Amino acid sequence: MHRKHLASTAVCLAAAVAAPASAVVAQQSDLAISPFVSFLPTAGASPLAGLAIALSGNSAFALRASGNLALRNSNTSAVTSPNSYRPWGADADVVFSLGGHFSGGYGRSFNPFVFAGLGVSGRDSLAYNVTHKNWSYGAGAAIPLGSVLDLFGESRWRMSEYVLPTAKLAPSPTTELRFGLSFHVGRGD
């Protein structure tokens, strides 16, 4: 019963992530390339550097894929083998712009946004790469610095299981803070 509930929740989340895809692809698109730095507010966690690519149309929706890798290995114990893995992560998100169009171009202004998506992360555990599938949600804002450049910041809450945060016995979400720049290289407004 529990597996069936998890499977149906995963299917619902995948549908929510994929639903706006046809609308984004069918319209004029804007491509944003975003280098960023992520911080996990846990003690001793190394910052992660990453890259995100977002595709948006003439609507408030965008599809975003991102990946990140720790700047240094957080496992510094004496028993660590030289082949240890750095913490890493990858996400696929649907982004909804609350300030209008997500794409670049003139006439842009402060742009708050929300997002949800699926992800996978990995870390070292006694020289073995341990991966975890998860889902996440969050909010952020982008400030245009020109016609093709944005400064953005966001907060992501990551759930380690495919359950709602309000579900009984749900694990506490972990928090991730992300800051970076977005370069719009597509058509735009």
pLDDT for the residue 10: 45
How many CB atoms lie under 10 A from the CB of residue 4? Answer: 8
Mean pLDDT within 159-166: 71
Average pLDDT of span 159-164: 72
Q: What does each C-alpha distance from 29 to 85, 100, 164, 174 come to in angstroms? A: 37, 15, 32, 33
Residue 74: what pLDDT? 59
Query: What residue numbers bound the domain in which 115 lies?
Result: 2-184
In a domain, 81, yes or no: yes
> Would residue 148 count as lying in a domain?
yes
Instruction: Report the residue count for the chain.
Output: 189
Q: Establish if 37 belongs to a structural domain.
A: yes
- 189: in domain: no
Across the range 123-147, mean pLDDT stands at: 82
Distances (CA, A) of 100 to 16, 57, 76, 103, 119: 20, 11, 46, 9, 26
Q: CATH code at 131?
A: 2.40.160.20
64: DSSP letter: E
Q: What is the pLDDT of residue 21?
A: 44
Give CA–CA dist 103/186, Å, rounded. Answer: 8
d(C-alpha 152, C-alpha 141), whole Å: 6
Count of domains in the chain?
1
Q: Is residue 177 part of a domain?
A: yes
What is the pLDDT at residue 59?
Answer: 79
Q: How many CA atoms lie within 13 A of 95 on its CB side?
A: 29
pLDDT tens digits along 63-121: 999 999 888 765 555 444 555 667 888 999 999 988 755 555 455 688 899 999 999 88
pLDDT at 47 over 70: yes
